[in-house]
Structure 1
Amino acid sequence: MQQLPSNSISLFCFFCMLLSSSYAKPRISSPAFAANSCNFPAIFNFGDSNSDTGGISAALYPINWPYGQTYFHMPAGRFSDGRLIIDFIAESFGLPYLSAYLDSVGTNFSHGANFATGGSTIRVPDRILPTNEGFGFSPFYLDIQLSQFMLFKSRSQMIRQRGGIYASLMPQEEYFSQALYTFDIGQNDFTADLFADMPIEKIYASVPDVINSFAYNVKSIYNSGGRSFWIHNTGPLGCYAFVFLYSPSAPALKDSAGCVKPYNELAQYFNLKLKEAVVQLRKAFPSAAFTYVDVYSIKYSLFKEPEKYGTSSVSHTTYGMEEVRINTTLH
């Protein structure tokens, strides 16, 4: 492991280099970032409930107790009992937690904004929240999140130019090229089809279109000036509690970890194609840095080997068809 300069590289960069050089899994497949250092002044995040810090709660309905109970000690707009990965990333830079773009109360965008909302998809969803059908998805799918970002970028600079009390709540213009752009989205594009008993071969066939839509949005952000990208793959779909609630055939298809094997294989196929897309993005845009993060392996290990993380079992809470949050404090 190489020696780190004191105070010049954040904990986040140390984490990147540690995983890149020391472990096969979970792995981060990028040797460098576009920025000269990892002291990113802002983060702009896109995703679903894995990284939603209050968007769906502000826009459609509040996220109520017991969410937030172990860290915030109150509902905090997150589908979690505590912090999300995006919160820890912000902490590693010494930045405040990201305010949701859709939240108009007490927001501060001086160091970035969060466009993620629970239930978001990459492509246009079939069923939009709110719905009487029992489940649905966020209207703020990835194309909409991109549009919101573009609008935010232009309007935030108009506000800064006007001055006044709101100017300091907006990011500086140069932050948009210096920022880290994070993505955690994709699983919801498949869950509805799975629970509708669509033939899994047909779902596999949809993966290239999902990947192309994702790559289009990343390219658009690059064209707007973004240069540092942090991209999570999707987690093990077959391990989440909602699978057993909505899929009658799930219990008969479990693996040794108690997860539905065909669903996890679908997630792995999506992740393979996502990684291939990241490789192509690197080739197309050599002046940028694209980091592919294998969170699938991290999450799967929580179900397969919970004792490694200080607990004998993993319990869950569910939000319809959305991401299941680990509801166990790991020591």
Structure 2
Amino acid sequence: MEFEHFTLKSLLIIMAIIFLQNHLLVVCLDMKCNFPAIFNFGDSNSDTGGLSAAFGQAPPPNGQTFFHSPHGRFSDGRLLIDLIAERLGLPYLSAFLDSIGSNFSHGANFATAGSTIRPQNTTISQSGYSPFDLNVQLAQYSDFLKRSQIIRKGGFFQKLLPEEDYFWRALYTFDIGQNDLTAGYKLNLSTEQVKAYVPDVLGQFSNVIEQVYSRGGRSFWIHNTGPVGCLPYIMDRFLVTAAEIDKYGCSSPYNEVAEYFNLGLKETVVKLRNELPLAAITYVDLYSVKYSLISQAKKLGKFFFFM
């Protein structure tokens, strides 16, 4: 039932943001950070209107709780990226693809629902995956970086674009990878086959971080992926035997793949820290936050689950 699904997504966001706000506060106190802008890359977990701008507005009940009408987000309320922006005292991020009412003076959001790190060899109508994969988002960011400064030198829209130094002072946020895992299962790959291509996915992710760094990015905030085995559509569309369901109602094999991805992502972050000496890279364990909510459902309340 859609309404119940969206309601729990908000609860997930509330719990996660308590963790993130405290973690972000500690990081900022340690670094004495003052981010004038955010540039975000990702999928539906942080899409503030990209896919809606490209393919039509996400319909109700999206947006009904906070915005009181569809507002580009695939959620009934705000997303983590919205609340991170609030915490930093910045406006909500406008989607790069949205030409209506957008203000990019404090950053831009390149995320679109259904995005993957690796390009998918399908159309959105075939698989549901966005054509705006992470490499496309990087290309959009690179174009935005160059053209925004040309326009700022005398264009009519200069006040709607970030100042030049904002690009190296900005916070670069990444929340992507979940769809890369489910894409393999949609192609009827086995769990071992999905695990086998994870290193390539992480290699492409690492390359994007390096590319952003080469263009001046210095502060990176990277979310790991959530417990894929708890997604309703995983439990509904794919074969899961009774023996594979854990005591919280999630599929253990699918969660093991997410944990495998996250372990590799954490190792990738450690490697990037060594290779990019001027970068400050924060790895955020959202998997644990989300799974804690599911595993403590009786303590925290009775919900339906959507992530």
Normalised to the residue count of structure 1, the TM-score between the two structures is 0.83
Q: 2:252 aligns with which of 261, 268, 277?
A: 261
The residue that corresponds to 2:225 in the other structure is 234
The residue that corresponds to 1:16 in the other structure is 23
Alignment of 1:244-323 (within 5 A): 244-249=235-240, 253-309=244-300, 311-316=301-306
State the shift of 1:250 in Å.
5.5
Q: 2:162 aligns with which of 171, 189, 208?
A: 171
8 Å Cα contact 1:71/1:81 also seen in 2: yes
2:48 counterpart letter in structure 1: T
Asked whether 1:137 is paired with 2:122, we answer no
Deviation track 1:222-254 (CA, whole Å, cap 9, x = no partner) reads 000000000000000000111122103355521
Where does the alignment leave 5 or more consecutive residues of structure 1 unmatched?
1-10, 21-31, 317-323, 325-331
The residue that corresponds to 1:23 in the other structure is none
SS of the residue corresponding to residue 231 of structure 1 reads strand
Q: Which deviates more from structure 2 when the two are superposed, residues 82-91 or residues 279-288?
A: 279-288
1:223 counterpart letter in structure 2: S
Q: Which has the higher helix share?
A: 2
Q: Residue 302 and residue 36 in structure 1: after superposition, are their counterparts in 2 closer, same or farther (change >3 A)?
A: closer
Superposed structure 1 runs of 4+ greater than 4 Å apart: 11-14, 32-36
Asked whether 1:113 is paired with 2:108, we answer yes
What is the CA–CA distance in structure 2 between the aligned matches of 1:250 and 1:139, rounded to whole Å? 33
8 Å Cα contact 2:21/2:84 also seen in 1: no
The residue that corresponds to 1:63 in the other structure is 58
Q: Residue 293 and residue 223 in structure 1: after superposition, are their counterparts in 2 closer, same or farther (change >3 A)?
A: same
1:151 counterpart letter in structure 2: D
The residue that corresponds to 1:4 in the other structure is none
Q: 1:182 aligns with which of 156, 173, 181?
A: 173
8 Å Cα contact 1:228/1:290 also seen in 2: yes
Instruction: Kindly tell me the number of residue pairs found equivalent between the two proteins.
Output: 290
2:295 counterpart letter in structure 1: K
What is the CA–CA distance in structure 1 between the aligned matches of 2:215 and 2:205, rounded to whole Å? 16
The residue that corresponds to 1:52 in the other structure is 47
Identity %: 54
1:196 counterpart letter in structure 2: L
The residue that corresponds to 2:147 in the other structure is 155
Q: Residue 17 and residue 92 in structure 1: after superposition, are their counterparts in 2 closer, same or farther (change >3 A)?
A: closer
What is the CA–CA distance in structure 2 between the aligned matches of 1:265 and 1:281, rounded to whole Å? 24
Q: Residue 14 and residue 314 in structure 1: after superposition, are their counterparts in 2 closer, same or farther (change >3 A)?
A: closer
Alignment of 1:57-96 (within 5 A): 57-96=52-91
Q: Which deviates more from structure 2 when the two are superposed, residues 33-42 or residues 284-293?
A: 33-42
2:201 counterpart letter in structure 1: V
State the shift of 1:38 in Å.
2.2
The residue that corresponds to 2:7 in the other structure is none
Q: Residue 202 and residue 269 in structure 1: after superposition, are their counterparts in 2 closer, same or farther (change >3 A)?
A: same
Where does the alignment leave 5 or more consecutive residues of structure 2 unmatched?
1-17
8 Å Cα contact 1:110/1:172 also seen in 2: yes
The residue that corresponds to 1:37 in the other structure is 32
8 Å Cα contact 2:231/2:305 also seen in 1: no
Q: Which deviates more from structure 2 when the two are superposed, residues 219-228 or residues 283-292?
A: 283-292
What is the CA–CA distance in structure 1 between the aligned matches of 2:279 and 2:20, rounded to whole Å? 16
Aligned CA RMSD, in angstroms, stands at 2.0
State the shift of 1:258 in Å.
0.4
State the shift of 1:276 in Å.
0.2
What is the CA–CA distance in structure 1 between the aligned matches of 2:226 and 2:80, rounded to whole Å? 13
Deviation track 1:273-327 (CA, whole Å, cap 9, x = no partner) reads 0000000111111211000000000111121112444x222343xxxxxxx3xxx
What is the CA–CA distance in structure 2 between the aligned matches of 1:64 and 1:212, rounded to whole Å? 35
State the shift of 1:212 in Å.
0.3
1:276 counterpart letter in structure 2: E
